[in-house]
Amino acid sequence: MLFSISPGPMKIIARLPKRFDMLGKGGYATAFGIFGAMSAGTAALTALACHLPAARLLNSDLAARHPEWQSDKIEAKTGIVERRIAAADETAADLAAAAARKLFDIAPVSPGEIDFVVLCTQAPDYLLPTTACLMQSSLGLPRSAGAFDINLGCSGFVYGLGVCKGLIETGQADRVLLLTADTYSKFIHPDDRSVRTIFGDAGAAALVERVPANDAPAIGPFRYGTNGAGAHDLIVPGSGLRARTGASRANGGPHGPDWLYMNGPAVFSFTLSVVPKLVQDLLGASALTAEDVDMIVPHQANAYMLEALRKRLNTPRERFFVDVRDVGNTVSATIPIALISAVSKGLIRPGHRLMLLGFGVGLSWAGTMLRWQQAAVGVSDAAAP
């Protein structure tokens, strides 16, 4: 195939061999003409579900083990009263699969109609094979479906939406199942109050589908950012191949190499420095003002950080959604769980213009605009009767 630029308005021209001549006129077609028919329409979020594991870790449980950790002070500082904790034999993939099955229960789509599955997690079942490939089998998705993992945390849901939009609007898929799940509890030392009071486990599933295009995109634009120099501020140092130590977890102490470490003040400062610019970049790219946004739905880090961020953005509380009380910080699953909660409370309705903001481990940040559709939402709760 040969490409050239045609005179006049910029247009890529593809010179195709005769046997690939789709137009029958000498083998010329615009590149967008070749692929555009496949990508007619736009990507939209049409269903959301989440799954919460059965075990609850209450502030009172933490206070019973560590009397210096008073329940009311934990809640006052974090806004969190309880977190869900995965069982010893329960992985992030299990939580994601349960969320996906809930989604198939509430949405008019079957596993056989999924073209692609994307799993965002930092707690895969194995280093290899890819956990999304295992989920293709466990969920009964077609063998023609694509599958891959994204290793991202707090910004992962927004990144995942960007990937889904790209797959759909380039004609590679019609229906993408986006799964976000993490089990940070398995990386946390039981005596590390800096992180044990904050993080919980959960999984979420989102269906992103091709829908007829209209004047405004249902998802987008996107803005991303990365500062890998800050990676050491939120890290499990001995978790990969860079620093294999062979040290026993029992002897490592709360800050041993196999446990999650978070430099809280540094992550706090990072958030307040990058997110306001991210918001302004998104508004500029969308040709919107802050007043045009019906609701900001940020990564649900903890109430203290989010309140400081809300004040820095000068956003009214009623347009800045925070709901960490009963689940804590579930990393890549926080934004979809927050969306489900806000919809269930009637705070988000069809037509609302939402701003989604992810920020944290990496250090990584991402934001997008989302026009809320008439989407099905549901919660799978393993602790429910």
Query: Cis peptide before 217, with omega less than 30 degrees from 0?
Result: no
Q: Which of 148, 101, 153, 167 is nearest to 334 (CA)?
A: 153
Which pLDDT tens digit goes with each residue over 341-380?
999 999 999 999 999 999 999 999 999 999 998 899 999 9
What is the C-alpha separation between 57 and 83, in angstroms, rounded?
A: 5
Residue 332 has pLDDT above 70, yes or no: yes
Query: Does any domain span residue 68?
Result: yes
Query: Does any domain span residue 384?
Result: no
Query: Does any domain span residue 332?
Result: yes
Which pLDDT tens digit goes with each residue over 109-150?
999 999 999 999 999 999 999 999 999 999 999 999 999 999
pLDDT for res 213: 86
Query: Does any domain span residue 385?
Result: no
Query: Max CA-CA distance within the chain?
Result: 81
Number of domains in the chain: 3
pLDDT for res 255: 62
Query: Does any domain span residue 69?
Result: yes
| Same domain? 31 vs 47 | no
In the three-class reduction of DSSP (H, G, I as helix; E, B as strand; rest coil), residue 376 is classed as: strand
What is the C-alpha separation between 29 and 10, in angstroms, rounded?
A: 14
| Same domain? 298 vs 160 | no
Beta strands 295-298 and 353-360 are parallel
| Same domain? 205 vs 225 | no
Residue 39 has pLDDT above 80, yes or no: no
Q: Which of 156, 185, 211 is the last residue of a domain?
A: 211
Q: Which of 211, 236, 264 is the last residue of a domain?
A: 211
Which pLDDT tens digit goes with each residue over 251-290?
556 666 777 888 878 888 889 999 999 999 999 999 999 9
| Same domain? 32 vs 168 | no
What is the C-alpha separation between 16 and 79, in angstroms, rounded?
A: 61
CATH number for the domain that contains residue 257:
3.40.47.10
Tell me what the mean pLDDT of segment 147-175 comes to: 97
| Same domain? 225 vs 104 | no
Question: Mean pLDDT over all residues of the chain?
Answer: 88
Query: Does any domain span residue 383?
Result: no
Q: Which of 176, 211, 246 is the last residue of a domain?
A: 211
Angle at 359 between CA 354 and CA 364, to 5 degrees: 125
Q: Domain limits at 335?
A: 219-376
| Same domain? 206 vs 231 | no
Q: Which residue is listed with tokens 């299990």?
A: 94
Residue 8 has pLDDT above 60, yes or no: no
Q: Which of 108, 99, 40, 46 is nearest to 350 (CA)?
A: 46
What is the C-alpha separation between 40 and 168, in angstroms, rounded?
A: 9
Task: Show which residues are catalytic.
Answer: 154, 299, 329
Query: Does any domain span residue 381?
Result: no
